[in-house]
């Protein structure tokens, strides 16, 4: 669709290997929420054999099985420079679950093996002895607004943040980064990581629009996004928050 208005270029990293928690739902949200506003999304899919384009406005890294994540980690570590450069210039980066871990310094598995990260976020992850699974609700403050964000988590990693980034949010329900400090996710300028799937964005349209606003700003386009009819989103969000408050 050509509208004369700027298109957002999204780089979807490793869609064949990192897609375990329905990451394509997040991509669909980016696409539709732009289309409903007369804007468009171009997606560049980057696999093991491709290089990473430096000129995208939005980079997305999803979650994978351990086996796939190990494969991707080595590959990404070797070719991440264009991604680092784009992030420095103001491109938006979103990492979910395994993708969140890969944005940090690295992941140490239970057997001591270490998976490299790319160090875009100042955080370190080590495997815990049991998986942290369940509904999550947290308060997120971005662009000076605080909103409730809902999702589902399922991860063995325990993530601890360094001084170079801040938590994405503070938990009302769920385990979050490590099950101990009440924090979930991480953010540094426009680089965002989180354990939340479900997928993340369909039930959190406010967060989707914050990320799209940043991407549009980086693309030199309009930043004030028109309001959409988010009735379904709001009810689904409320249902998920209620489920999180119930003992299951």
Sequence-distant contacts of 176-180: CB under 8 A, at least 24 apart: 176/132, 176/136, 176/138, 178/128, 179/128, 179/132
Residues 162, 21: Cα–Cα separation, whole Å: 27
Task: Report the number of secondary-structure helices (H) and strands (E) in the chain.
Answer: 6, 12
The answer to the question of residue 173 lying near other proteins (CB under 8 A) is: no
**Shortest Å distance, C-beta 243 to other proteins:** 7
The answer to the question of residue 170 lying near other proteins (CB under 8 A) is: no
Task: Give 104 or 199: the residue with its C-beta nearer to other proteins.
Answer: 199
- DSSP assignment string, 160-208: EE-TT-B-SEEEEES-TTTSSSSEE-EEETTEEEES-BSSTTTT-HHHH
Q: Active-site residue 56, yes or no?
A: no
Task: Give 116 or 134: the residue with its C-beta nearer to other proteins.
Answer: 134
The answer to the question of residue 247 lying near other proteins (CB under 8 A) is: no
Q: Are 149 and 140 in contact (CB under 8 A)?
A: yes
Site for other proteins in 60-119 (CB under 8 A): 65-68, 71
Q: From the candidates 97, 165, 175, 183, which is the catalytic residue?
A: 97
Residues 187, 182: Cα–Cα separation, whole Å: 15
The answer to the question of residue 21 lying near other proteins (CB under 8 A) is: yes
**C-alpha atoms less than 13 angstroms from C-alpha of 209 in its C-beta half-sphere:** 20
Residues 108, 97: Cα–Cα separation, whole Å: 15
Task: Give 121 or 132: the residue with its C-beta nearer to other proteins.
Answer: 132
Task: Give 124 or 153: the residue with its C-beta nearer to other proteins.
Answer: 153
The answer to the question of residue 240 lying near other proteins (CB under 8 A) is: yes
The answer to the question of residue 209 lying near other proteins (CB under 8 A) is: no
Q: Active-site residue 17, yes or no?
A: no
Chain positions contacting other proteins, by CB under 8 A: 16, 19-22, 24-25, 28-29, 32, 65-68, 71, 131, 133-135, 152, 154, 197-199, 202-203, 229, 232-233, 235-236, 239-240, 243, 248
């Amino acid at each position: 669709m050509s509208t004369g208005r700027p298109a957002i270029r999204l780089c979807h990293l490793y869609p064949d290997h990192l897609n375990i928690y329905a990451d394509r739902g997040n991509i669909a949200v980016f696409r539709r929420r732009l289309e409903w506003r007369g804007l468009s999304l171009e997606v560049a899919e980057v696999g093991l054999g491709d290089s990473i384009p430096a000129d995208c406005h939005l980079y997305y890294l999803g979650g994978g099985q351990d086996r796939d994540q190990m494969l991707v980690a080595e590959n990404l570590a070797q070719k991440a420079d264009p991604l680092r450069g784009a992030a420095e210039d103001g491109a938006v980066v979103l990492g979910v679950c395994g993708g969140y871990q890969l944005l940090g310094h690295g992941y140490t598995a239970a057997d001591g093996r270490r998976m490299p990260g790319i160090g875009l976020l100042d955080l370190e992850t080590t495997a815990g002895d049991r998986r942290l699974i369940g509904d999550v609700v947290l308060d997120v403050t971005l662009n000076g607004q605080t909103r409730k964000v809902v999702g589902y988590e399922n991860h063995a990693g325990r993530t601890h943040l360094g001084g170079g980034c801040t938590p994405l949010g503070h938990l009302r329900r769920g385990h979050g980064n490590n099950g101990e400090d009440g924090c979930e996710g991480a953010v540094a300028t426009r680089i965002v990581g989180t354990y939340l799937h479900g997928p993340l964005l369909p039930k959190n349209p406010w967060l989707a629009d914050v990320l799209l606003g940043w991407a549009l700003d980086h693309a030199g386009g309009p930043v004030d996004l028109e309001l959409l009819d988010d009735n379904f989103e709001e009810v689904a969000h409320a249902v998920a928050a209620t489920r999180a408050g119930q003992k299951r």
